[in-house]
């Protein structure tokens, strides 16, 4: 009896100690990997503050230098970069605002109404999610050309207003968070259907809508292939396309390039710091439910 109790105590102690060491090791590994993952961002910010000669040196600089202003000037000498940043904000902002509106409106319709062809129409929305976006890129370019929209921002934000992903996400949110009784309550109060959407449904789904907005903005901000295809002048370039033109010069000025990439990543970093949970949730929930 006594021996076994002692034994038990030892087992518990060992288990406790072993578990603690094990957990410490797990933490160590996880943190090391996190640092490794974040390192390229740190490295980008560090190199953005160094001269070309310091960037190409061994061992490489590991701490911030003093060439930030010089690199920034070099970037602005090459590109109308502030204009490019504005273009990106403008396009991503409009696409996001319209997507939030149209997707929540359609999601509301699919979640709250019974109507003819509803299943076929919603099936079309879901099916369109499965089409690889690259399939239509050539005709898309031709349509833009035919509309006379080549080299304009609306060539990008206008088609981006139709987000099947957004409709899908909003339908899920609305169906799960808005009681049907509210529809009738609104009608009895004399509200029009749009009014019910605007004054009752929208406030309820605000968190879901914010998530959709974040995800859409990030996607548009990073979008590369479409702007690359339809934009042609430096003044109209978005940030990724502008950065691309810095490359392949005989002497790429890496300090200038990296301050450009830093500025491209900075808004996303800020968004992510403020709302990482929502961003992750939105991107993953969208794909899981899709």
Partner 1 sequence: MAKTIAPGTPRLPWSTRLDKFQRRYAPYIFISPFFLLFAVFGLFPIVFSLYLSLQAWNPVQGLGTMRYIGLENYVWLMDDPWFWRSITNTLWIAIASGVPQHVLAIPLAFALSRGIRRFRHPLTAAYFLPYITSAVAVSLVFLTIFGTQFGILNQTLQYLATAPWSAWLFGGLADALPINWLGRAPNIKPAISILVVWQYFGFNVVLYAAGLATIPKDYYEAAEIDGANGRQAFFNITLPLLRPMIFFAVSLTIIGNLQLFDQPFILTDGTGGSSQAGMTVVMYLYRTGFNWLEMGTAAAIAWLLVLLIGVLTMIHFRFFGRSGLETRD
Using CB under 8 A as the binding rule, the residues of this chain from 1 to 20 that contact partner 1 are none
**Within 10 Å of residue 161's Cβ, how many Cβ atoms?**
18
Three-state SS sequence of 193-224:
HHHHHHHHHHHHCHHHHHHHHHHHHHHHHHCC
CB of 110 to partner 1, least distance (A): 7
Whole-Å CA distances, 101 to 87, 161, 183, 252: 21, 9, 19, 42
Are 74 and 253 in contact by the 8 Å Cβ rule? The answer is yes
Nearer to partner 1 by Cβ, of 2 and 247: the residue is 247
Which position among 64, 90, 102, 149 is part of the footprint of partner 1 (CB under 8 A)? 102
Q: Is position 28 an interface residue for partner 1 (rule: CB under 8 A)?
A: no
Which position among 82, 142, 270, 274 is part of the footprint of partner 1 (CB under 8 A)? 142
Whole-Å CA distances, 252 to 55, 102, 124: 12, 43, 47
CB of 98 to partner 1, least distance (A): 8
Six token digits for residue 190: 């004399």
Six token digits for residue 197: 């959407």
Nearer to partner 1 by Cβ, of 2 and 130: the residue is 130
Q: Report the alpha-carbon distance of residue 250 to residue 255 in Å, rounded.
A: 15
Nearer to partner 1 by Cβ, of 9 and 269: the residue is 269
Contact pattern from residue 71 through residue 100 relative to partner 1, giving x for each residue in contact according to CB under 8 A and a dash for the rest: ------------------------------
Number of residues forming the site for partner 1 (CB under 8 A): 98
Which position among 12, 30, 77, 270 is part of the footprint of partner 1 (CB under 8 A)? 30
* Residues 191-250 close enough to bind partner 1 by CB under 8 A: 191-195, 197, 218, 221-222, 224-225, 229, 239-241, 243-244, 246-248
Which position among 4, 132, 233, 251 is part of the footprint of partner 1 (CB under 8 A)? 132
Contact pattern from residue 146 through residue 185 relative to partner 1, giving x for each residue in contact according to CB under 8 A and a dash for the rest: ------------xx-xxxx--x------------------
Q: Report the alpha-carbon distance of residue 276 to residue 259 in Å, rounded.
A: 24
CB of 66 to partner 1, least distance (A): 19
Considering only the stretches 2-10, 69-77, 78-86, 140-148, report the one whose residues sit in contact with partner 1 under the rule CB under 8 A. Answer: 140-148
Which position among 109, 169, 200, 259 is part of the footprint of partner 1 (CB under 8 A)? 109
Nearer to partner 1 by Cβ, of 29 and 77: the residue is 29
CB of 138 to partner 1, least distance (A): 5
Q: 99: burial class by Cβ within 10 Å (0-12, 13-18, 19+)?
A: buried
Q: Can you list the positions of beta strands (E) in the chain?
A: none
Whole-Å CA distances, 282 to 176, 180, 279: 16, 24, 5
Q: Report the alpha-carbon distance of residue 222 to residue 214 in Å, rounded.
A: 12
Which position among 44, 97, 150, 210 is part of the footprint of partner 1 (CB under 8 A)? 44
Are 226 and 38 in contact by the 8 Å Cβ rule? The answer is no
Q: Report the alpha-carbon distance of residue 210 to residue 214 in Å, rounded.
A: 6
Nearer to partner 1 by Cβ, of 133 and 203: the residue is 133
């Amino acid at each position: 009896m006594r021996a076994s109790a002692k034994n038990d105590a030892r087992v518990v102690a060992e288990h406790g100690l072993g578990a603690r060491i094990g957990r410490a090791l797990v933490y160590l590994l996880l943190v090391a990997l996190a640092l490794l993952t974040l390192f390229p961002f740190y490295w980008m910010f560090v190199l953005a503050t160094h001269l070309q000669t310091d960037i190409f040196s061994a061992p490489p600089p590991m701490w911030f230098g003093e060439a930030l202003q010089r690199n920034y000037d070099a970037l602005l000498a090459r590109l109308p970069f502030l204009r490019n940043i504005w273009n990106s904000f403008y396009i991503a902002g409009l696409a996001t605002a319209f997507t939030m509106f149209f997707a929540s409106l359609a999601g509301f319709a699919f979640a709250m109404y019974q109507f003819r062809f509803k299943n076929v129409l919603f099936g079309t929305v879901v099916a369109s999610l499965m089409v690889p976006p690259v399939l239509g890129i050539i005709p898309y370019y031709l349509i833009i050309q035919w509309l006379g929209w080549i080299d304009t921002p609306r060539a990008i934000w206008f088609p981006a207003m139709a987000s099947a992903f957004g409709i899908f996400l909003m339908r899920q949110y609305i169906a799960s968070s808005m009681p049907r009784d509210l529809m009738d309550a609104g009608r009895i109060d004399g509200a029009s259907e749009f009014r019910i959407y605007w004054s009752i449904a929208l406030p309820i789904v605000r968190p879901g809508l914010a998530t959709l907005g974040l995800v859409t903005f990030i996607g548009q901000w990073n979008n590369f292939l479409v702007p690359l295809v339809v934009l042609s002048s430096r003044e109209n370039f978005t940030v990724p396309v502008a950065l691309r033109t810095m490359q392949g010069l005989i002497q790429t000025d890496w300090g200038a390039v990296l301050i450009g990439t830093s500025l491209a990543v900075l808004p996303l970093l800020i968004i992510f710091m403020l709302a990482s949970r929502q961003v992750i949730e939105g991107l993953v929930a969208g794909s899981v439910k899709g």
